[in-house]
Amino acid sequence: MKNIFSPKSLLLSMVAVLLVLAASSVSHSGNIIVKPGGFDHFAVQLPEKVRAGEGVIVKLQAYDMHDNLITNFAETGKEFKVSVSGSAQVQPAILKAASFMGGSAGITVTGNKAEVVVLSIFEAGGTVPVVTKEVAIQPNKLDHFFIQSPPAVTAGNKFDIKVIARDAYNNPVADTDIESKNIKLALAGTAGLKIVSADMVFRNGVSIATLMAEKTGESAIEVHDTATGSRGASPAFKVMSAGLSYFKIYAPKEAAAGEPFEVTISTFDAFDNPMDNYSSSGRGVNISSTGQAKVSPSFIGQSEFKNGRAVVKMRYEKAEEISIVASESGMSQQGKSTAVRINPSAPESFVVVTPDSAVAGQRFRIKVEVYDRFKNIVRNYNLIGNDVYLNASGTGMLSPKRVHASEFVNGVASVDAMYDKAESFAVSASVAPRKEERKITVKEQKKEVSIPAAVKAPEKPAAPKPKVIEKPKVEKPAAVEGKPSAKAAEKREKKSKQITVAKEEGKTAAKTAEKKESVKDKKIAERSFEISKVSLIEAKNKAMIIMNMNAPKGNLEYKNRTETIDGKEWIILSLKPAVNKTKNLWKFKSAFIKEIHMEDDKAAGVLNIRIETMGKQFTFDINKVKDSLIISITAINS
């Protein structure tokens, strides 16, 4: 075998020997501890959800540039400033290295408002943050509802409300936290509300509901979550009346021709709500009637309406049944009252209808018609009128001369008359005074005559006084020498005369005082209206109390009202000047009236009359017709 020497192989052999020698001489020195490098940045860790009102801890970890956690960061002695944007708060505001345990520290962030805030950490004295982190604070769970509604709405118009779901810190709640099926809408207040649509589906924490009101008043809306108990209510809002739709007219069932009667006109919208603002929104009202004459006044301005109502004194002169009609000026809205019966006013004139010819001594038919000052025939003359005298213009005798009021039927009396002269003549009619009036006059005359007679009668027995003086003269012989006895007699005579004169003067003064009182009483009696008779006429649904009285010069003032006393219903009248010349208590068997009490207040010249009714619902009217005061009582359900 041929040995070939190669320098290269020699070199390799030497290297191998050196390596063996080196390996045989290696020994272990132990583990090497490698420390993190210098601080480079923080790592920030947040929880999954941050809710409003709940504090959250943000974890900070210090790392070097090779992302090694600096576990001994507390030894660095560094100091950092911590801040957060928005309305949130952070603790601590100064973070020291000593707060880091094992390279980690915690910062507490708290915010009541649902918002995104930025957490920033600066090295002490630095202006550039070492790290910034956005923190999204979400709403907390549902706590209550906030309801937005308009302050006022109009009846008949739709309107929207907003229902906002909020947490305890007034943050709108996330839609995912609301169960629409548990939300209930309720209506409260005096106004009638209707729900048009309310699905209670929330978008961005807000749900919209549509409603409509039909009745005026104040109302509010309440929302309730049946699952959580959360609830809310809107502020009270006012429902205003809509535009004018019609009028309602309230008028009495009866009135007297030419006399004022009270009518109430009320305004309403299409939902039967009174129009409180008609005085500012209306145009005025034209007044008319369904009768043949005109009603007065014929127009009422809108300024006369208070809270949608106007009370008007009206007059109508034609005796007939009418209805009052109110129409909006220049518009079509109107209203109509129930029937009003216009009765004739006080009788004023007569018309006598006679044939063209008649035969002397034979009966012929005449008609006597009675009219008021407005030419209305007085159909109830048999109830309120006096008897009628028939007068002939000729030289003959007409009979009968008197027609009783009860003979009039619907204002007309048919009389079979007779005249005894063959001549042309005319027949006229005039009112006869009442018998009661003549009786009162006679009583007053008797009273005037009897008063002086009663005073003069006692004066005659006073004349025998001088006889007392004569008695001593008869016994004169027994006392002749006694002149003093004669002087004594003279003294007695003078004294008796003085007494007589004093008595005469006293009687004269008494007569003068009585005469003055008589004149005063007479004047008061002449001025006052004297109630001389009370009667009651009753029909099915109506009663008339007729109080006959004299008719002195002057006006009779009367006030009336109704009262409930101890469960009894009373009509109370006060008449001035008036006195009662009948009994103080009248009782009736009637379906309307129980009793009538009369009490004189002489000091005030007032007569107080209390009428106890049967407690039914009724209306009453009071009319003064010449020498009668008529109180008409009508049942409402008639």
In a domain, 10, yes or no: no
Strand 340-343: give its sheet, edge to edge.
Answer: 254-256, 340-343, 321-322
CATH number of the CATH domain containing 201: 2.60.40.10
Q: Do 179 and 214 have their domain in common?
A: yes
Does 620 share its domain with 556? yes
End position of a domain, from candidates 527, 559, 581: 527
Residue 61's domain comprises 39-138
| Chain segment 124-138, per-residue pLDDT in tens | 888 889 899 999 998
Among 504, 527, 550, the domain-final residue is: 527
CA-CA distances (angstroms) from residue 356 to 105, 179, 365, 419, 558? 135, 102, 11, 14, 48
DSSP one-letter string for 372-418: ETTS-B-TTHHHHPPPEEEEESSSS-EE--EE-GGG-BTTEEEEEEE
Q: Is the pLDDT of residue 480 over 80?
A: no
Can you tell me the distance from the alpha carbon of 27 to that of 58, in angstroms, rounded to the nearest whole number?
Answer: 49
Residue 4 within any structural domain of the chain = no
Distance of alpha carbon 31 from alpha carbon 293, whole angstroms = 130
**255 and 210 co-located in one domain:** no
Q: Is residue 605 one of the residues assigned to a domain? A: yes
Q: What is the end-to-end Cα distance of the chain in Å, rounded?
A: 162
Same domain, 199 and 161: yes
pLDDT given for residue 256 in this prediction = 93
- pTM (2 decimals)? 0.51
Using only C-alpha atoms, the chain has a radius of gyration, in whole angstroms, of 58
pLDDT tens track for 381-432: 999 899 999 999 989 999 999 999 999 999 999 999 999 999 999 999 998 8
Q: Do 191 and 123 belong to one domain? A: no
- The pair of three-digit structure tokens given for residue 476, joined into one six-digit string: 């004169």
Same domain assignment for residues 541 and 629: yes
Tokens of 48: 């999954």
Q: Is the bond preceding residue 577 a cis peptide, omega within 30 degrees?
A: yes
pLDDT(140) > 60: yes
Q: Distance between CA atoms of 161 and 148, rounded to whole angstroms?
A: 6
Decide if 547 contacts 580 (C-beta within 8 A). Answer: no
- Predicted pLDDT of residue 511: 56
466 φ, ψ to 5°? -60, -25
User: Among the three residues 432, 454, 483, which one is the final residue of a domain in this structure?
Assistant: 432
With 0-12 / 13-18 / 19 or more C-beta atoms within 10 angstroms meaning exposed / middle / buried, residue 18 is exposed
Q: Which ranges of 128-207 would DSSP assign to H, the alpha helix? A: none
Q: Is residue 19 part of a domain?
A: no
Short-list 348, 51, 38, 334, CA closest to 171: 51
Least confident of 156-160, 466-470, 601-605: 466-470
Looking at the 3D structure of the chain, how many domains does it have?
6
> pLDDT tens digit string along 188-220?
887 778 889 888 889 888 999 999 988 888 899
Cβ atoms 208, 162 nearer than 8 A? yes
Closest to 216 measured CA to CA, from 192, 247, 199, 236: 192
- Residues 386 and 369 both lie in one domain: yes
Q: Which two tokens stand for residue 70?
A: 């600096």
pLDDT recorded at residue 409: 95
My answer on whether 542 and 570 are in the same domain is yes
